[in-house]
Amino acid sequence: MIIDIITIFPKMFAPVLGESIIKRACAKGLVKINCHDLRDYSQDPHKKVDAPSYGGGGMLFRAEPIFAAVEALLGYPAYPKQHDDKGKRIILFSPQGKTLNQDRIKNFLKFERLLLISPRYEGVDERVRMHLADEEISIGDYVLSGAELAAMVFIDCLVRLIPGVVSNKESIRRESFQDNLLDFPSYTRPEDFRGLKVPQVLLSGNHGKIEAWRKRQAIEATKEKRPDLLKRIK
C-alpha cells in the first residue's frame, strides 16, 4: 500500500512515521508513506496556497494547488475524470466527514493507494470537496488547528491492520471495537497489589472459563460505557 499525504506541514509527520509500528511496517515494505508539501504545487510567486473566502469568512485552501498536487502524484487529470482508478482513494479530512471507526478503517485496506488531503484554516474550496475527494473523514466532533493530526490518527489505525505489520494476530482480534465491543479488563504481575487482587478465574488456567469471563466483561463494559455500540451487534 502507498499512502501520500498532502500538507503544508510535512515535518509534523516525521516523529510519528519514524517510530514504532509505522516505522517497522515501512521497513518491511508493507506500506510506503510519502509526505508532500502543498506549497510545492502553488503557482503563486510566494508559494501561497490559501485565499479569503468569497462572501466573507476565513481563509481557505485554494483548489488549484490541491488539484495540481493530486494530479502530479496520480499522473493523470483528476477533473474532468478521464481515468477510473479503482485501486486508489482520495480522502479529505473534514468535520463534515463520516466519523472514523474500526469498521470504516477496515474498508480502506482494499485500496492499493490512498491520497490524504490535510487542510488548515477554514478548510478547502468547495470544488475540492465536490469534484476531487472520493471520501471525507472526521475523527470526532471537535475542532483541530489543522487536519495533520487527523491524518496521523488515520494512518496509525490503518497501518496496524495491514497483514504482517502486527505479528500477534490474536491481539488485533481481541482489541476494543472489534465486534463492536470494548475490551475486557486485563491484569499482570503482581497477583496482589496493596490488597487489590487479580480475579481468580484468570489464574485458573481454564481457558474456556477465561474466554467466557472476558466476553461477559466486554459486554458489561460496553453496556455501561458505550451502549450505542451494542445497537450495531447483530
Q: If you search the block for the grid coordinates 490474536, which residue do you land on?
A: 170
SS (H, E, C) 77-127: CCCCCCCCCCCEEEEEEEEEEEECCHHHHHHHHHCCEEEEECCECCCECHH
Strands of the chain (E only): list them.
Answer: 2-7, 32-37, 50-52, 59-61, 88-99, 113-117, 135-138, 192-193, 196-197
Quick: pLDDT tens for 188-227: 999 999 999 999 999 999 999 999 999 999 999 999 999 9
Fold (CATH) for 2-159 = Alpha/beta knot (3.40.1280)
User: Is the CA virtual torsion 226, 227, 231, 233 positive or negative?
Assistant: positive
**135 burial level (CB within 10 Å; 0-12, 13-18, 19+):** middle
Boundaries of every domain in the chain: 2-159, 177-230
The model's confidence at residue 234, banded by pLDDT at 50, 70 and 90, is low
What topology does CATH give the domain 177-230? Trp Operon Repressor; Chain A (1.10.1270)
What tens digit of pLDDT does each residue of 7-48 get? Answer: 999 999 999 999 999 999 999 999 999 999 999 999 999 999
Q: Tens digit of pLDDT for each residue in 40-87?
A: 999 999 999 999 999 998 999 999 999 999 999 999 998 887 778 889
